[in-house]
Chain A
Amino acid sequence: MPLSSKHLLGLYDTPVEDIRLILDTAKTFREVLERPIKKVPTLQGQTVLNLFFEASTRTKLSFELAEKRLSADVVNFSKSGSSVQKGETFKDTVNNIISMKVDIIVVRHESAGVPQFLTRFTNAKIINAGDGRHEHPTQALLDIYSIEEKIGSVKGKKICIVGDIAHSRVALSNIFALKKLGAEVSVCGPLTMMPVNIEELGVKIYSDINKAIAENDVLNVLRIQLEREAGSSIPDLREYREYFGINAERIEKNNKDILILHPGPINRGVELSSDVADGPYQIILNQVTNGVAVRMAILYLLGTQN
């Protein structure tokens, strides 16, 4: 059964059947990752371009590993900052690279909508690896995969995303997908970090972290991105740590069955204390491993369909 689209632009537009297909297919690749030889010939002869206009370590590495384990030829392009300021337009940059013939483009860019923009002038299949504060579909899919691996279907589970929701593409993709899969989704953070009308996406808002811990099965804790605009949304890191930070004491007092996810990189001592980041409630490194399997599944499904 193929996916309904030749691209993965975001989960807002992805039907639930496609999400399930990706998650199911990922299980197969998860097994491949446990083999001594972790490579399959599925995408032999296909070329994948990792087009990164924004700094990334783990997402890029994860995609690259996934691509190589599917035997694709991989080319990387990294450039940070706006192409506007550098003289060459985004479109020219991309047209130059795709003239070298690539089959799949994995794109990350600081502007929302760039994956959609790419589909208008290339024939390649597009995978969104994060566009502005819009979507990061592969991260959400690997989060969901990791939750389900640990506690079973997300359907009916209470899942809370904690942190700077307004600037988070991880939050938005998670909300879209989890709602489709039947989870009860909420967000927690200071009101300054909530995008307007977030409740219209069908999510509950917490401003009390203890309550969020007590009333949920899973917390997906976002990085407080100091390099973004977080600086104007919270007074300082100390205040955030004191009122929204997650530590072992809060977990033990409110909900010892909680499952903690974090897309990384962690600001230790800010959103997560070290006793949580390294403790028994979290599955942070499972997420990283599963990320490769989920990305292999997406590359496989898109790469082998017409």
Chain B
Amino acid sequence: MKVLLQNLQIFDPQGIQNEKKDLLLEDGIIVKISDSIPIDSGVEKFDFEGAICSPGFFDMHVHLREPGREDEETVLSGATAAAAGGITEIACMPNTTPTIDNAGMVDFIKQKAKGHLVNVHVIAAATKDRKGEYISPMYELKESGAVGFSDDGVSIKNAFILRKAMEYSKMLELPIIEHCEDESLAGGAMNESEVSTKLGLPPVPSVAEDLIVMRDILMAEYLDASVHIAHISTKNAVEMVRQAKSRGVKVTAEVTPHHFTLTQDSLYSYDTNFKMNPPLRSKEDVAAILEGLKDGTIDVIASDHAPHSPEEKDYEFIYAPNGIIGLETIVGLTLSDLYNKKILSLEKVIEKLVVNPRKILNLPLPKIAEGEKANLSIFNPDLVWTVDANKLKSKSRNTPFDKRIITGKALAAINNGKMFFEDEFISLSA
């Protein structure tokens, strides 16, 4: 089956940049790229005037909840939410029930995702059952397809085990991804600040994150191993990563859209959709994050998509679980709050949503060239839209961005011979 994508502004970091082209796809393969391709009969055409096309977006921090909480999200519903958000590849975190800490579990996720538009990569637990006591069977996990290791939700608690995990994964050339939070300071419901004092909510201090970021950087430096800091959220953490990078430490970092768009001031409503971990921080932290995004200290934008059922979120604030969904808003918020506000150029946006996640996880970067498989994201940075939580493809509704007006929208995702466009999957193969 042939499909013609017209009038796309191409941005391929490895190829065509800032040129308007038509793309002809046949059975999901790019067969022709040209300034203007005549329309043959039997070719379905899509006019994307005003839109940009890049290699597929990659969200490296996603919770799919399967197995265990299939009422909140499944591999399939999460993958579809990603496609609806313009994303073609995701990496899911291992904090499911049971934990993804053995080859069988990696295989289970892979099987569930088979045939979907979205490639679902698996980040396996760094320690058995994420308990921080024994390192997981990383060799076997790598062979079964795991692309990195993390105890996400918690840090690897003990420095000795962290060391072993970093050394073992270094041998396998896979990254350790750390949720940085000192356990003994954790457990609060919001960022410790004048706002937590006024609201009387149990606070978690930013230094809880900073301490572990520092520990992990020093350990990676000592071992010459690599570490990826998940959802960085504090000013000091950004500065520590910046300094570590300048000394050549193999450290990378990601930030979520909510940590560059929202502050702790949102908590005055006691709305549990603003409760997440790490918590929303201060204006100064957000400013430092924007600076870190600009100067390259922060490599990646990832959603930390964390679905929770309405009944779970509709609780007394201190008892409601942490986390928000983000797969369907990450591209829009990045365009709206970073690209359109001139914090990041298009090139930098692509770097953080397309290039760097794959670099960190050692995955191939798709090309936009004739003969290549189409793995594409199409988005319009000028399109104004309003988030409607009830229309999201995720099984869950826990977003603080409901009703938010966003400038910039993902229009389509294309991968594995399929296209997601205007709320539905379109098969591109015969």
A interface residues (Cβ-Cβ under 8 A, vs B): 12, 82-84, 89-91, 109-114, 116-117, 131-135, 169, 172, 195-198, 200-201
> Of the candidates A113, A133, A195, which one forms a contact with B270 in the assembled complex, judged by CB atoms under 8 Å apart?
A113
Which residues from A are CB-within-8-Å of B318? 110-112, 132
| 18 A-B pairs whose Cβ atoms sit less than 8 Å apart in the complex | A91-B314, A109-B316, A112-B189, A112-B318, A113-B317, A114-B317, A132-B202, A133-B202, A134-B200, A134-B201, A135-B200, A172-B197, A172-B200, A196-B192, A196-B203, A198-B197, A200-B194, A200-B197
> Contacts A112-B270, A117-B270, A134-B201 hold; do A196 and B316 have CB atoms under 8 A apart?
no
Contact across chains for A201 and B314 when beta carbons are under 8 A apart: no
- Interface flag for B198 (CB, 8 Å): yes
Contact across chains for A112 and B199 when beta carbons are under 8 A apart: yes
> Contacts A82-B319, A90-B315 hold; do A113 and B194 have CB atoms under 8 A apart?
no
Contact across chains for A195 and B196 when beta carbons are under 8 A apart: yes
Which residues from A are CB-within-8-Å of B316? 82-83, 90, 109-111, 113-114, 117
> Of the candidates B196, B198, B201, B311, which one forms a contact with A89 in the assembled complex, judged by CB atoms under 8 Å apart?
B311
Nearest CB on A from B430, distance (A) = 51
- Interface flag for B193 (CB, 8 Å): yes
Nearest CB on B from A230, distance (A) = 14
- Complex Cα spacing A178 to B202, Å: 24
Contact across chains for B311 and A111 when beta carbons are under 8 A apart: no
Name the residue of chain B whose CB is nearest to the CB of A91: B314
- Complex Cα spacing A142 to B203, Å: 28
Name the residue of chain B whose CB is nearest to the CB of A165: B197
> Of the candidates A90, A112, A196, which one forms a contact with B200 in the assembled complex, judged by CB atoms under 8 Å apart?
A112
Which residues from A are CB-within-8-Å of B201? 112-113, 132-134
B interface residues (Cβ-Cβ under 8 A, vs A): 189, 192-194, 196-203, 205, 269-270, 311, 314-319
Which residues from B are CB-within-8-Å of A116? 269-270
> Of the candidates A84, A133, A201, which one forms a contact with B319 in the assembled complex, judged by CB atoms under 8 Å apart?
A84
- Complex Cα spacing A113 to B193, Å: 17
Which residues from B are CB-within-8-Å of A89? 311, 314-315
Nearest CB on B from A116, distance (A) = 5
Contact across chains for A111 and B319 when beta carbons are under 8 A apart: yes
Which residues from A are CB-within-8-Å of B193? 196-197
Contact across chains for B197 and A201 when beta carbons are under 8 A apart: yes
- Complex Cα spacing A197 to B199, Å: 12
- Complex Cα spacing A116 to B268, Å: 10
> Contacts A84-B315, A89-B315 hold; do A201 and B198 have CB atoms under 8 A apart?
yes
Apart from A89-B311, A112-B201, A134-B199, list 5 A-B contacts with CB within 8 A: A84-B319, A113-B270, A113-B317, A172-B197, A172-B200
Nearest CB on B from A277, distance (A) = 27
Name the residue of chain A whose CB is nearest to the CB of B200: A134
Which residues from A are CB-within-8-Å of B192? 196
Name the residue of chain B whose CB is nearest to the CB of A134: B200
- Complex Cα spacing A89 to B320, Å: 11
- Complex Cα spacing A12 to B199, Å: 9
Most B CB within 10 A of own CB, among A83, A91, A110, A113: A113
Which residues from B are CB-within-8-Å of A198? 197
Which residues from B are CB-within-8-Å of A133? 200-202
Which residues from A are CB-within-8-Å of B202? 132-133
Which residues from B are CB-within-8-Å of A112? 189, 199-201, 270, 317-318
> Contacts A89-B314, A89-B315, A114-B316 hold; do A196 and B197 have CB atoms under 8 A apart?
yes
- Complex Cα spacing A200 to B198, Å: 10
- Complex Cα spacing A134 to B197, Å: 8
Contact across chains for A113 and B199 when beta carbons are under 8 A apart: yes
- Complex Cα spacing A278 to B200, Å: 32
Name the residue of chain A whose CB is nearest to the CB of B192: A196
- Complex Cα spacing A90 to B189, Å: 18
Name the residue of chain B whose CB is nearest to the CB of A114: B316
- Complex Cα spacing A157 to B169, Å: 64
Most B CB within 10 A of own CB, among A109, A169, A197, A198: A197
Contact across chains for B317 and A111 when beta carbons are under 8 A apart: yes
- Complex Cα spacing A195 to B269, Å: 20
Contact across chains for B319 and A131 when beta carbons are under 8 A apart: no
> Of the candidates A91, A117, A201, which one forms a contact with B317 in the assembled complex, judged by CB atoms under 8 Å apart?
A117
Which residues from B are CB-within-8-Å of A117? 270, 316-317
Which residues from B are CB-within-8-Å of A113? 199, 201, 270, 316-317
Which residues from A are CB-within-8-Å of B200? 112, 131-135, 169, 172
- Complex Cα spacing A134 to B270, Å: 12
- Complex Cα spacing A117 to B319, Å: 13
Which residues from A are CB-within-8-Å of B189? 112
> Contacts A82-B319, A113-B270, A133-B202 hold; do A195 and B314 have CB atoms under 8 A apart?
no
Nearest CB on B from A251, distance (A) = 30
Nearest CB on A from B344, distance (A) = 32
Name the residue of chain B whose CB is nearest to the CB of A82: B319
- Complex Cα spacing A24 to B357, Å: 64
- Complex Cα spacing A82 to B321, Å: 14
> Of the candidates A84, A114, A197, which one forms a contact with B194 in the assembled complex, judged by CB atoms under 8 Å apart?
A197
Most A CB within 10 A of own CB, among B199, B203, B311, B319: B199
Name the residue of chain B whose CB is nearest to the CB of A113: B270
Which residues from A are CB-within-8-Å of B319? 82, 84, 90, 111
Nearest CB on A from B163, distance (A) = 29
Name the residue of chain A whose CB is nearest to the CB of B319: A84
Name the residue of chain A whose CB is nearest to the CB of B198: A12
- 3 tightest Cβ-Cβ pairs between the two chains A and B: A134-B200, A113-B270, A197-B194
Nearest CB on A from B196, distance (A) = 7
- Complex Cα spacing A111 to B311, Å: 17
Name the residue of chain A whose CB is nearest to the CB of B316: A111
Contact across chains for A196 and B311 when beta carbons are under 8 A apart: no
Contact across chains for B314 and A196 when beta carbons are under 8 A apart: no
Which residues from A are CB-within-8-Å of B270? 112-113, 116-117
Which residues from B are CB-within-8-Å of A200? 194, 197
Which residues from A are CB-within-8-Å of B197? 172, 195-198, 200-201
- Complex Cα spacing A112 to B269, Å: 11
